[in-house]
Structure 1
Amino acid sequence: MNKVMLMGRLTRDPDVRWTQGPEQSAVARYTLAVDRRFQKEGGVTADFIGCVAFGRQAEFAEKYLQKGIKIAITGRIQTGSYTNREGQKVYATDVVVEEQEFVESKGASAARPPKRKTEPETDDDGFMNIPEGVEDEIPFR
């Protein structure tokens, strides 16, 4: 039996790509930082495990997962090898995701910084500043 269960945080946003051909399918890759249960003093505190999701699971990852979010996954270990550009054989081990789910509530994840890089400027009363000359672009008046 080949079954893996992991719980950890994404180290970065998932990298999602689409296959070519008449029936395109999504492939998402991400890394989970999984805390070690026991640690040696001054030693490593987490393992970084590569995960790959296909199809609907990959689409879910693209839509809902982002860096820092805590998830639990189940899947299977898959090993493989390839030859890199230098002619060296490289061995790879990934977890193929079969199920993934959120572990934290929205309230707990709200403490994380937002996904966008910059916050809009606000007045003292908390309303967003609207730049000059955009009145024509506003859908209401």
Structure 2
Amino acid sequence: MGALEIAFIGVTVVAVVAMAVLLHMCARSGAPAAAAVRLGGTAEVGGGGAVEAAGGLDEAAIKALPKVVYGAAADDAPPAQSSTGCAVCLGEYTGGDVLRVLPGCAHSFHRQCVDQWLRLHPTCPVCRTSPLPSPAPASSSLAGRPAQP
């Protein structure tokens, strides 16, 4: 065997070991989420909606989000945003489409598209803000006290 063949074998072995270590680390990082999904639990997030263990919102939180009918307004513009299409399916809005407007950011989407998205992800598909109301800030023990000179 020549020196070149030995070097090639050495590099190949190092690459295989490195890939095995990376795959092991990636598999271990997903273990807590997978265990939570198997348990089927939910966790309370924000100020009122529940986030499923798999990561998305529960049905009650999704149904509570506002919806509007596109084309019901006189100017035929989508609510609160200048976009005329759904960022989830990339389809254009047409008259009579039911849209959901996320309260945190005012982005609008086809109701069916964003509902499906929110079952898997607890954030807006465009800006990643939470559509759930944020909790009231906790009052500090120093909040009502006058400033010390």
Q: TM-score, normalised by structure 1?
A: 0.21
Higher helix share: 2
Q: Indicate the structure whose relative CO is greater, using CA pairs within 8 Å and at least 6 residues apart.
A: 1
Higher strand share: 1
